[in-house]
């Protein structure tokens, strides 16, 4: 019989590793077992792009090493996929055939890039960017490449576009919808995003998808599109979404688009929690279920899950926020947008320079979300208003003026 509480964590990304650290700091007599199917300790996926652009060395991508786990007494198990979960029996089974009992379990398994499901979509030269392994594969092929096609309308696709143009590749970006981040940006903002891409040397084509990848002599040569074009490509960067890694948990906890949790990050099974990209949680603004794909969210949820796994009763209150450069500009998306719920109203404005855009989202009488491109003045004020949940009594358009906010 075990005397110590045993915490098992599946996935050692930002969420899983933060959870392990928090558990060991606050419950030093417990056992913490941290599984990952990857060979590495925690590394920063956000940094992969900067590594591939030569802005940081590989060692800077890694944020934890093996001695760190030893120092904290975390039983780190790399290259050990968890393949089954028995919630009633409180056990997980690994691909090595071990059955491990737990008292509390965290699912923090993130997602895997959705594959490009077209003829020859699995050819060498069709690239993904989620793991260090993906980055190393890309690093090997970038120097010889001349032409690239990017597929997808979200941040992952932007990563490819930015890397490819940094390497001087002639880059065409296929976006199926009418705009980059089509649920967050309207047509005006989408046109601004296209202009920013074009100024960086990336040509954006909307409304077309890859119909097939053309391969010659085992190598990618071109893509044909659903619009009938043939575009030269040595590399295809596929950024068409993530499929959550939750197969091992099916039938054991409630699953929708991710692993469904309540505000305390507890799943439908009381001793199982979920955090990070894989967790579908009630956002704290209107309570709608959402998936969040950010580093800060994953780490904060990992820490909060740890506190609740130790018996706490905290609820997740962080306002979702994503900040990124976008070619020569920057984009912030905060709070909730039509990506999370479709019944929002919005007001938007592009300023006189045509370079700065903002769109604000309202639910009932409250400000609940915002998109800022370019000038981010007043961002903290908007964030505070979202957090405060107070009724907006004046004209909504007044909030579009950055000077009035600051
Ligand atoms: C290229 C790129 C750029 C990004 N840019 C930004 C950005 O600018 N800003 C931002 O905030 N966020 C960004 N993100 C998103 C951010 O990196 C993620 O939201 C965050 O890393 C998610 O952490 P996580 O712990 O939830 O999951 P992950 O980091 O995905 O970790 C999950 C781990 O679990 C492992 N695993 C899966 N299944 C199993 C299993 N059955 N058994 C064992 N292990 C398993 C996975 O292999 C993985 O190692 C970016 C992501 C990528 C890929």
Q: Rounded to an integer, what distance in angstroms lies between the CA atom of residue 401 and that of residue 406?
A: 9
User: What is the CA(39)–ligand 1 centre distance, in A?
Assistant: 14
User: What is the CA(178)–ligand 1 centre distance, in A?
Assistant: 27
Give the DSSP letter of residue 35.
E
Pocket probe for ligand 1: among 39, 41, 46, 290, the residue whose CB has the most ligand atoms within 8 Å is 46
Positions in the chain whose pLDDT score sits under 70: 1
**Residue 296 to residues 293, 305, 318, 323, 338: CA-CA distances in angstroms?**
9, 14, 10, 11, 21
Identify any residues that bridge with 161 across adjacent strands, giving them in sequence order. none
Nearest residue to 273 via CA among 242, 315, 243, 241 = 315
CATH number 1.10.600.10 given to 6-110+245-309: no
Q: Which atom of ligand 1 is nearest to the CA of 159?
A: 1
**The token pair that represents 125 in the structure block:** 């030269």
Q: Give pLDDT, residue 403.
A: 87
Q: Give pLDDT, residue 404.
A: 84
Q: Give pLDDT, residue 218.
A: 87
User: What is the CA(214)–ligand 1 centre distance, in A?
Assistant: 31
**Residue 339 to residues 266, 318, 356, 361: CA-CA distances in angstroms?**
23, 17, 22, 11
User: May I ask the CATH architecture of the domain 114-241?
Assistant: 3-Layer(bba) Sandwich (3.50)
Torsion of CA 265, 269, 271, 276, to 10 degrees: -30
Pocket lining for ligand 1, CB < 6 angstroms: 10-16, 35-38, 45-46, 48-49, 81-82, 108-110, 129-130, 155, 159, 245, 248, 276-277, 293-296, 298, 322, 324
Burial of 357 (0-12, 13-18, 19+ CB in 10 A): buried
**Residue 163 to residues 44, 105, 106, 156, 357: CA-CA distances in angstroms?**
17, 37, 34, 11, 25
Asked if 174 and 150 touch (Cβ cutoff 8 Å), the reply is: yes
| This model's pTM is above 0.95 | yes
Pocket probe for ligand 1: among 105, 294, 302, the residue whose CB has the most ligand atoms within 8 Å is 294
Q: Give pLDDT, residue 1.
A: 62
- Which residue spans of the chain are classified as CATH 3.50.50.60? 6-110+245-309, 114-241
Asked if 48 and 54 touch (Cβ cutoff 8 Å), the reply is: no
Q: Which atom of ligand 1 is nearest to the CA of 81?
A: 42
Pocket probe for ligand 1: among 51, 96, 239, 245, the residue whose CB has the most ligand atoms within 8 Å is 245
Q: Rounded to an integer, what distance in angstroms lies between the CA atom of residue 382 and that of residue 326?
A: 21
For 267-325, what is each residue's pLDDT tens digit? 999 999 999 999 999 999 999 999 999 999 999 999 999 999 999 999 999 999 999 99
Question: Dihedral sign, CA of 324, 326, 328, 333?
Answer: negative
Identify any residues that bridge with 17 across adjacent strands, giving them in sequence order. none
Strands 147-151 and 31-35: unpaired
For 85-111, what is each residue's pLDDT tens digit? 999 999 999 999 999 999 999 999 999
Asked if 156 and 113 touch (Cβ cutoff 8 Å), the reply is: yes
- Which residue spans of the chain are classified as CATH 3.30.390.30? 323-405
**Residue 297 to residues 72, 189, 303, 305: CA-CA distances in angstroms?**
23, 26, 10, 12
- Name the one residue in this structure whose structure tokens are 């409180």: 90
Give the DSSP letter of residue 319.
P
Q: Give pLDDT, residue 72.
A: 95
Q: Rounded to an integer, what distance in angstroms lies between the CA atom of residue 200 and that of residue 162?
A: 9
- Other CB atoms within a 10 A radius of the CB of residue 124 amount to 13
Which contiguous run of DSSP H or E holds residue 89?
Answer: none
Give the DSSP letter of residue 297.
H
Domain topology for 323-405:
Enolase-like; domain 1 (3.30.390)
Pocket probe for ligand 1: among 45, 111, 239, 301, the residue whose CB has the most ligand atoms within 8 Å is 45
Task: Report helix angle 14-26 to 295-309, nearest 10.
Answer: 30
Asked if 346 and 359 touch (Cβ cutoff 8 Å), the reply is: yes
């Amino acid at each position: 019989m075990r005397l110590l509480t045993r915490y098992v964590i599946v996935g050692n990304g930002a969420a899983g590793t933060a959870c392990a650290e928090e558990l060991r700091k606050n419950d030093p007599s417990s056992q913490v077992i941290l599984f990952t199917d990857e060979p590495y300790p925690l590394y920063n996926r956000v940094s992969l792009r900067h590594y591939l652009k030569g802005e940081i060395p590989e060692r800077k991508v890694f944020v934890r090493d093996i001695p760190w786990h030893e120092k904290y007494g975390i039983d780190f198990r790399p290259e050990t996929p968890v393949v089954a979960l028995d919630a009633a029996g409180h056990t997980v089974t690994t691909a090595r055939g071990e059955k491990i009992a737990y008292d509390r379990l965290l699912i923090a398994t993130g997602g895997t890039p959705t594959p490009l499901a077209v003829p020859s979509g699995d050819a060498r030269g069709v690239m993904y960017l989620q793991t260090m392994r993906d980055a190393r594969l890309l690093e090997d092929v970038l120097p010889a490449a001349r032409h690239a096609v990017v597929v997808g309308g979200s941040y992952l696709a932007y990563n490819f576009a930015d890397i490819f143009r940094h390497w001087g590749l002639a880059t065409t970006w296929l976006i199926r919808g009418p705009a980059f981040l089509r649920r967050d940006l309207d047509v005006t903002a989408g046109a601004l995003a296209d202009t920013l891409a074009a100024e960086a040397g990336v040509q954006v084509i909307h409304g077309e998808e890859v119909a097939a990848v053309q391969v010659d002599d085992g190598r990618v040569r071109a893509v044909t599109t659903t619009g009938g074009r043939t575009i030269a490509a040595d590399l295809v960067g596929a950024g068409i979404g993530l499929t959550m890694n939750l197969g091992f948990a099916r039938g054991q906890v409630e699953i929708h688009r991710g692993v469904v949790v309540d505000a305390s990050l507890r799943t439908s099974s009381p001793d199982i929690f979920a955090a990070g990209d894989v967790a579908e949680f009630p956002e704290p603004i209107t309570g709608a279920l959402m998936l969040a794909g950010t580093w800060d969210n994953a780490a904060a949820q990992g820490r909060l899950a740890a506190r609740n796994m130790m018996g706490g009763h905290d609820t997740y209150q962080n306002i979702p926020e994503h900040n990124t450069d976008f070619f020569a500009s920057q984009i912030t998306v905060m709070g909730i947008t039509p990506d999370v719920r479709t019944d929002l109203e919005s007001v938007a404005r592009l300023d006189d320079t045509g370079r700065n855009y903002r769109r604000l989202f309202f639910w009932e009488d409250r400000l609940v979300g915002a998109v800022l491109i370019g000038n981010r003045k007043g961002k903290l004020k908007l964030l505070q208003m979202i957090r405060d949940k107070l009724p907006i009594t004046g004209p909504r358009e007044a909030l579009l003026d950055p000077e009035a906010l600051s």
